[in-house]
Chain A
Amino acid sequence: LASSSPSHRLEEVPLEVLRQRESKWLDMLNNWDKWMAKKHKKIRLRCQKGIPPSLRGRAWQYLSGSKVKLEQNMGKFDELDLLTGEPKWLDVIERDLHRQFPFHEMFVSRGGHGQQDLFRVLKAYTLYRPEEGYCQAQAPIAAVLLMHMPAEQAFWCLVQICEKYLPGYYSEKLEAIQLDGQILFSLLHKVSPVAYKHLSKQKIDPILYMTEWFMCAFSRTLPWSSVLRVWDMFFCEGVKIIFRVGLVLLKHTLGSSDKLKSCQGQYETMERLRALSPKIMQEAFLVQEV
């Protein structure tokens, strides 16, 4: 639909369409259980079209099940919030606070509200799952959540991501991410044999390009409007969205002999994967391909 017209941004959705979508989403959120039970396909379709910004935070909590989780654990976050936490985690978290989206108004000032809430959420997680503690890739995830909801809600949403959506991604040995790297690579074989062959030939381990993509759910990779659209779908459909986005990026970067002309060596290829073409990361193109 929008593929021929370049650089679509979220705010370019016509106002009437946006209002319509908002009322549809309000209806869904107000009758959530019914919709989930009977019209899941419709929810998925609406997530693909993009959740209206005004309702995004609420929708993510419904989709992820964090709303229910919070209701089942009333007071738990406040309880964790009052505890001190383990110094070894606090030290790393504190040093990371000013490094998350430093140009976002929420996180721009040291000790400001955004950074404080980020600290509370991440600290609470280390107390909630002491055996996992804090993994540095959790900070950008929590920061994106905090841009859309208060600290307590963001905490439970983070719990859902770490336990339901991306289990094992952030825990001690990071085995899950390494395994998913291998899976991504074998999927690439089907999706784009040319890209697969190229990466095999140059012996580029998936770990080299997909770790940050997957562990940060593309929040540091894609332009902002694309991040939000990908997350809308991710919360609805789960980790397969992350795989699909990864495959689209690989396919459109290395998927034809023409594209490979400038990727003669391992390092040219890596450079390409690090500085992806803005065209393929652009919201309308990416969402359509996924």
Chain B
Amino acid sequence: MAAPESGDGNNGAARMVTLISSDNTRFEVEAAAASLSQTLQLTILDGGGGGGDGIPLPNVDSATLSKVLEYCIKHAPAAANGGAPNATAVDRAELERFDNEFVNIDQSVLYSLIMAAHNLEIEGLQSLVAKKVADMIKGKSPMEIRRTLGFPDPTPEEQAEMNAHMLEYGWAYE
């Protein structure tokens, strides 16, 4: 008869929430991990997502969501310590290693990840993926950047603009 939330909150077991991806897959995670998302945090604080009814995420598919949650679960303990001021160097190194490994993935997955991180407002993940994409762009010429990101070939007009820009700021391409 007791409300499940209060029961979960008071004893040792962590409170769980259910997230539902766009393709209707249900993910059960600790509330602390899901709360890394600013978007979900309020819903979770209001007691949503527990029990039978999950939180639907119509913009995130299951493959992306599982990747996002992998990140959240790994980073939740550090985030709970308030940015982990007392974390050991070993812990920090481990997280860094995880992050590097985590973004070492196929480009298109990277883009769905950053989109999801943006929609869910997971700051750490967003900046991690943005940094990775920035690293892919760094040191490349405009044309190389277009190819790297798979943009369509420039129209003659665009090509002319690109050339004009490069002529003007040639020193930046040395």
Mutual binders A and B? no
